[in-house]
Amino acid sequence: MFIAQPHQRILAFCLTSSILAIFSTFHVSSFPSRKPLISFIISPLTTTTDTPSKGEVMALELRRLRRSLTQIWTRIGNSTIAPPAFGQLSEDVLLNIFVLLDSPRNFSLTCRAFRALSREPRFKAHWLINRYGRRLAVYYAIMHSPETCTNTLLNLLIHLKAIIPRYLAQSIIQSYVGPNIEQTKTTEVTAFDIVVARVPFSGYTFVVNHSWQQYGDIWQESGATDFNLFIKYSGYRSRAHRNVARLRSLITTYGFAPVPFPRGPVMRDMIILAGEFPDIIREFLVVFHLDRSVRIRVWESVFVLLIDWVLHPQQLYHIIQNRTVLAEAITLVLGPPVVEYDDKEIFKTTFMEVFSGYPHTLQTAVILSVLATVHGFKLSFGLEQAVQEMVKGAERSKRSTLAPAMKQFLQHHSVTPVNKRSSLLKSITKRHPPP
């Protein structure tokens, strides 16, 4: 939006005053008709005699004055004199500001110039790298703005050292069917399928060509994806397939990151891996914090794993049977407090769904043990407040069987000394001692 400078405002005022003075000099009756004077300014000048009347001459002069005024305002609008101070910053400085923003949207709404900059592929590429890191920048570019993922943007990301993980390339090739996804997709359509269908063809071909140059044949072992291989080499489902060297190679050589997240109980393996090889899981921890859909899977797996630890600890993988290791693994996966979304709402919804889904009602001690363990984690919300809200919701629904256990938890943890909290945990672990 243009803002006129003081000297420009004075000039405009003088011109406007001149027009008003002319209007005050002549009376409407001096014109050849009773039409308003403005009609002479807007409509073409027509004459019926060789000698124009006084009113016609005046109308002609007003039209000339109007044209002059328009030209002056045009020059003022195109003037580069004394622009706003922020607009004097160089593009590189603005880029450094842009990459630090939580969201580019407010930046783009500041003015037209900033809006144009926010649409530049160069600005988008730098922001994605700074926001999500080299391993996840391409994935989140596709998830948040698939239409902009042309070969230009992807090429800029690669020049900024972004990685297109082999697993991401496999997933894109499996999902991409173009814009007519509803007519061509034969299997159940996922959220990832929908966004990939909106990726321009130039972006799709860039991913295919770059992956071929980087990895060669991206399909290994009878068409298994890298996520399948990751779970296989971790060895938590079959010790015979355990191969830590190949597990690390998937990350270092092929840039593995566990997105898009497949169906199935794979998050449980991730938590166990965090307890045994925390250095491996740290390579892509940000996925568990930024991605809301993955976060739901994280909480589901945390609750199920804690229930199994209380009920059948001897059936768990040996390293996770240790309560300290289990707590450290879950804490690592949960990560720092989440600000991208309402983690408390995800916690509450997932908790009620998991604990209500068991065929037989869990004992109160089991629910208390799970809540007491979660209480030791650093969360972005108050656990006591979340439990209070769940109690109110449970009493209004058919899940009232969970309310007594949650009320008992609140009796020990709502504004109580620390020693009462520890005594509750001790009483629970006595009834269900860990190995």
- pLDDT, residue 2, reads 46
Highest mean pLDDT among 58-62, 97-101, 106-110, 347-351: 347-351
Assess whether pLDDT exceeds 50 at residue 70.
yes
Q: Does residue 408 contact residue 372 with C-beta atoms inside 8 Å?
A: no
User: Shortest CA distance to 260 belongs to which of 283, 232, 229, 226?
Assistant: 226
Question: ω before 434 within 30° of 0 (cis)?
Answer: no
What average pLDDT does this structure show over 151-169? 97
Strands (E), 248-337: none
Residue 320, judged by CB atoms within 10 A of its CB (0-12, 13-18, 19+), counts as buried
User: Shortest CA distance to 298 belongs to which of 361, 234, 341?
Assistant: 341
Give the pLDDT band of residue 72 (cuts 50, 70, 90): low
pLDDT in tens, 225-251: 999 999 999 998 888 899 999 999 999
Question: ω before 260 within 30° of 0 (cis)?
Answer: yes
Query: CA Rg, the chain, in Å?
Result: 34
Q: How far, in Å, are 265, 343, 344, 388 from residue 349 at the CA level?
A: 18, 10, 9, 13
Neighbouring residues of 364: CB distance < 8 A, sequence distance ≥ 6:
404, 405, 408
Average pLDDT across the chain, whole number = 80
- pLDDT, residue 421, reads 44
Assess whether pLDDT exceeds 90 at residue 202.
yes
